[in-house]
Chains A and B, each alone.
Chain A
Amino acid sequence: MSKNIKFLGLLLTLIIIFIILLKGLNVSKDYSNEKLKSKIDFSLNAKKLFSDEIINISDLFDKNSPSVVNIWASWCAPCREEHQFLMKLKDMNINIIGINYKDSPKNAKNFLSSLGNPYSEVITDNDGTKSIEFGAIGVPETFIISGKTNEIIKKYIGPLTSDNLIEIKNLLKKNV
């Protein structure tokens, strides 16, 4: 085999490997078993925690970028742990909607005034039915929802961790 053919062959192989690895970089690595492609029913109405005003939940979502929905309660200890991460998300200018799950409004307000309020809006869910609409099975749970298509992009069961934080940041960046 002549030198040139060897060289071209090697070059071609390299280019193919490069392209495959390049594609590989963009393959999504978000493997969550709970990943749902289902849509959220945006016609749902709910009461706000702070003003008792009843609104349509679609008003809470930003149409152009995804929002984070966090289901929490003042009586839930893991919610307290993940609270610091929600505050960080807020600092990154991320729209977080809180769903206050089976809680007394007084305790919920105390919780937020002592630990800080990361939510752009909190809606109450006294009987837990709103959370069921989101497909939640307990607290805390966190969803990333596209404002445009109402689809759940990602779902976290249990408290968020600092690793999730980076993931959420990247997910939101990707889905704008």
Chain B
Amino acid sequence: MSNYLGNYSLYIALIASVYLIFKSYLDANSENKYLDKNFILITSIQTIMITVSFFSLVAAFVISDFSNETVFNNSHTLKPLFYKVSGTWGNHEGSLLLWLLVLSIFLFIFLLNSRSQDTKYKLLTILFQQIIISGFLVFILLTSNPFKMLYPIPSEGLGLNPILQDPALAIHPPILYLGYVGTSIIFSASLASMISGNIGDKWARHIKKWVLVSWVFLTIGILLGSIWAYYELGWGGFWFWDPVENVSLMPWFCLTALLHTVIVLQKRNSFKEWTIILSITTFSLSMSGTFLVRSGILNSIHTFANDPSRGLYILSFLFILILMSILIFFFNQNKISNTAKENFILSKETAILVNNWFMMFFLSVVLVGTIYPIFLEVLNGSKISVGPPFYHNLLIPFLIPFLIFMSFGPSLKWIKDKLKKFNYNILIIFLVSLLISYVILTKTENSFLLSIPLIVLSIYLLLVTIKDFFVSKSSISQKISHFGFSLLITSILLNGLFSNEFNSNMKVGDERIFNDKVVKLKEVNVKDVDNYKSLKASFEVTNKNSSFALYPEVRIYQQPLTITSEADIKTTLFSDNFLVFNILKDDGYYNVRYQYKPLMIWIWISTIFIGFGGLLSVIRKNEQKY
């Protein structure tokens, strides 16, 4: 029943999409003053149909309807309800349906929110957004229909990968998608504004909200993915430069640049071309993310369905969209009235331009690292793996000028700023940060020459962003996000500098001495729980004056047979103690990895600050002043 309902509502949504494409194209060429009432009506019908379709898939998951192939492949009656529901988007078909749902809901909200905008601009936005929606609809119906039926009906499903049974991961894809798909509205709207010629400060104010919303969701989505990798994968890191992680980071760099550019457009009515190009690039990167992840062209820990026909479709669709936007850009370029006034070297405009170029640099490094292995394999058949050293070597040295620049850039004035008289506050802050860094660096042996300026500057920037809360006139949301960023960089650097670990094979009763701590494996308990067998170890870590216990776990799932390691992490404000163990052969020995990671929690907290700043900017009305 739900299979038919879900399937046919998708067809109705497709018909609505085709109608809207033609209707908006025809109306955009006529000189209608008002938007036809049908647009809102048909768009709401379409949104409702897609919602119905999505929830009939959710329902099929909840009641474990194994006549549905997607449910059969990804669910199991023994799974807890929460993971049955999240299983809906934990697979290829369902996640695409979620993409589609968000696409149509966003367009609907856009229509409701842009009443005051020019009619032609709205029509063109509908046109471009519907082209994207119909592309996804056809893609789903042709290659990844989530409502394929199975006969005879199997009595039990194949289960979801237990690694995916994690709360952070269950909400990570929807949040990330909200960010990705939000960029589609920016894309459609910027193409539309280019053709209708309304690009300017008024438009910037209107689109800035969408940029902020997408940016906040993308930031939080990346954070959740990272938290999941840290707690669940049990590798003890928070970022692995895995291609699938990189594809979410690339649109983030681009969107961050766009966010700053839109502010210039709003204040100074310049940087129009930057805005358009960044909008197009951000969306193309989000789409390429889908392509790279879903086509199976990448080799990564996140292996999803490998089906070349899907890859071919997304690739062609992606290139048609890029081609279309390039054509529109080149043929309407002369419509961009260049109202740019004279820019002075020392001004906020220049500062944002420099920021953009930094973002573009970071973006290109990640892009090359992600795409180059694919290119090389095609061109001469050699397989290379680009790992963290590549990214670290190329990104970290450039953090030094970036940090210096960020300490003064945001406080520059619009149009033209003067070189002030020597500021004693700055000198005091700099000396304080030198002192703090000196104290920190004497405590570690493995410091390189490069880490000295990095630590000094990151602490300096941190102190400057704190000072800005009291003296700077910029908006509170900007202060919070910039403070969050400097805190993030500082935490990552200190975490990298002071982390250490040991790796050893231990049996029950063994002790290892590590960093003036004694780690003892006390016992291992075997127990049968719901749908897996659990081996829970009990470790005792004794310090000079305190001791605590850690209980890492190994789970053996039967459906399908998978062994996962659940790390146990003792988190305090200052450090994380991370312990994970694995079964070796049946000789009583376990492989134990113990990691000491300082300031881990601050990496999450600072990212929340970054996102919170953006969120504040969305909801606060008087933010528009800044």
CB atoms of B297 and A25 under 8 A apart: yes
Question: B297, B326, B378: which contacts A7 (Cβ < 8 A)?
Answer: B326
**Cα of A14 to Cα of B325 in the assembled complex, Å:** 12
The reply on B308 being an interface residue by CB < 8 A is yes
| Identity of the chain B residue whose Cβ is nearest the Cβ of A81 in the assembled complex | B561
The reply on A1 being an interface residue by CB < 8 A is no
Chain B residues within 8 Å of A20, by CB:
374-375, 378-379
CB atoms of A81 and B322 under 8 A apart: no
Chain A residues within 8 Å of B308, by CB:
25-26
Contact residues of B: prevailing secondary structure:
helix
Measured between C-beta atoms, what is the minimum distance from B557 to chain A in Å?
11
CB atoms of B315 and A25 under 8 A apart: yes
Q: Which of A66-102 contact B (CB under 8 A)?
A: 78, 81
Name which of A7, A21, A163, A167 has the most chain B CB atoms within 10 A of its CB.
Answer: A21
CB atoms of A24 and B299 under 8 A apart: no
CB-defined interface of A1-37 with B at 8 Å, one 1/0 digit per residue?
Answer: 0010011001100100010111111110101000000
Measured between C-beta atoms, what is the minimum distance from A35 to chain B in Å?
14
CB atoms of A167 and B306 under 8 A apart: yes
Chain B contact patch, size range: 20 to 34
**Cα of A162 to Cα of B560 in the assembled complex, Å:** 7
Chain A residues within 8 Å of B379, by CB:
20
**Cα of A18 to Cα of B311 in the assembled complex, Å:** 12
**Cα of A18 to Cα of B326 in the assembled complex, Å:** 15
**Cα of A51 to Cα of B73 in the assembled complex, Å:** 36
Known: A3-B333, A81-B558. A23 touches B378 (CB 8 A): yes
Chain B residues within 8 Å of A26, by CB:
308
Question: B159, B297, B299, B322: which contacts A14 (Cβ < 8 A)?
Answer: B322
CB atoms of A3 and B306 under 8 A apart: no
The reply on B408 being an interface residue by CB < 8 A is no
CB atoms of A161 and B295 under 8 A apart: no
Measured between C-beta atoms, what is the minimum distance from B511 to chain A in Å?
35
Chain B residues within 8 Å of A22, by CB:
312, 315
The reply on A166 being an interface residue by CB < 8 A is yes
Question: B291, B323, B330, B378: which contacts A27 (Cβ < 8 A)?
Answer: B378
**Cα of A25 to Cα of B292 in the assembled complex, Å:** 10
Question: A159, A161, A166: which contacts B306 (Cβ < 8 A)?
Answer: A166
Known: A21-B374, A25-B308, A170-B307. A159 touches B561 (CB 8 A): yes
The reply on B377 being an interface residue by CB < 8 A is yes
CB atoms of B312 and A25 under 8 A apart: yes
CB-defined interface of B538-551 with A at 8 Å, one 1/0 digit per residue?
Answer: 00000000000000
The reply on B405 being an interface residue by CB < 8 A is no
Chain B residues within 8 Å of A18, by CB:
315, 319
The reply on B404 being an interface residue by CB < 8 A is no
Q: Which of B520-576 contact A (CB under 8 A)?
A: 558, 560-562
Chain B residues within 8 Å of A161, by CB:
560-562
CB atoms of B315 and A21 under 8 A apart: yes
Chain A residues within 8 Å of B378, by CB:
20, 23-24, 27
Chain A residues within 8 Å of B295, by CB:
25
| Identity of the chain B residue whose Cβ is nearest the Cβ of A11 in the assembled complex | B326
Chain A residues within 8 Å of B63, by CB:
none
What 6 A-B pairs come out closest when comparing CB atoms?
A23-B378, A25-B311, A162-B158, A24-B374, A7-B330, A162-B560
> Can you list 30 pairs linking A and B with CB atoms under 8 Å apart?
A7-B326, A11-B326, A14-B319, A18-B319, A20-B374, A20-B378, A21-B291, A21-B315, A21-B374, A22-B315, A23-B378, A24-B297, A24-B374, A24-B375, A24-B377, A25-B308, A25-B311, A26-B308, A27-B297, A29-B299, A31-B299, A78-B561, A161-B561, A162-B158, A162-B159, A163-B303, A166-B305, A166-B306, A167-B306, A170-B306
